[in-house]
Amino acid sequence: MKIEYILSSQIILIAIGKTVGYDFNPILIVDQGTNVMIELSSKHPYCNIQTDRHRIRINLRMADVSKVYRVPETDIMKYVEICKNKTANANLQNIFSFPGTKWCGPGDTAKSNRELGVFFQEDECCREHDSCSRYIDTGVCRGGVCNDSPYTRSHCECDNKFKTCLQNLRSPVGNLIGEIFFNVIGMTCFKEVPPCNVEDPKTRLTITQEYITSYFNVGGLNCSLEFKTTSQFKPKKPYKHSILLSIKRKHLLIIQTLFRKN
């Protein structure tokens, strides 16, 4: 079952609730020893570092079940350094690679196009996005814009398709990947600026040629481009069985808390 896969990758499913932080449901990254926790929020301030173990435990108990992410101690220090340097938007995308996937990160670790990670449905979405044929490489100028970022920019159609793919899964892992890439890191894409050809009236052939040249990433015919920040990721409501499972966990947590007090 999917829940077993989630537990095996240290994504802790605890209870539905709210966390003590800067956003209603921030993403929580915590080390295996529960010594350091980072709250990643889509709102300012971008991240908050917690080292109080008592407060960390409280936050984890009240956390959204789909937004707690366990990492080794060596990895948590990388995230801490990012927060301190306040350069997370540029650096997080370069080091982030979601556990249990082969395609959801900078580059891919798959040995073949058919190889997928444990979270194969989410990995399929990432693999499809990686195969986007409309992109601008680092340091390349095209259509009046230059990609000065350290990573490739994809066409907005590819980014939006990637977002929709994750949303349609309605899974905790898919939602977490979507929120990290679109809400925390923030994905920038490019699109054509209409009209692409301002010298002569467009004919059906001209429009087709422009689309083909853009699709195969070989430039356009007098077609200007612009960068755009992809819209926020909004998770769809989970299926009924997922909601019931989360409610049961919350009730179990309440019972456990009562017994501890006694």
Bridge partners, 234 (sequence order): none
Which residues contact residue 195 at a Cβ distance below 8 angstroms, ignoring those fewer than 6 apart?
Answer: 202
Backbone angles phi, psi at 11, to 5 degrees: -95, 105
Which residues contact residue 118 at a Cβ distance below 8 angstroms, ignoring those fewer than 6 apart?
Answer: 5, 8, 9, 100, 101
Which active-site residues does the annotation give? Answer: 129
Bridge partners, 70 (sequence order): 30
Q: Is 254 helix (H, G, I), strand (E, B) or coil?
A: helix
| CB-CB contact of 221 with 210 (8 Å) | yes
Reported as half-sphere exposure (CB side, CA atoms, 13 A), residue 260 has a value of: 6
Structure tokens belonging to residue 210: 């422009």
Structure tokens belonging to residue 118: 């444990």
Q: Which of 5, 3, 21 is nearest to 62 (CA)?
A: 21
Tell me how far apart the alpha carbons of residues 176 and 98 are, in angstroms, rounded to a whole number. 10
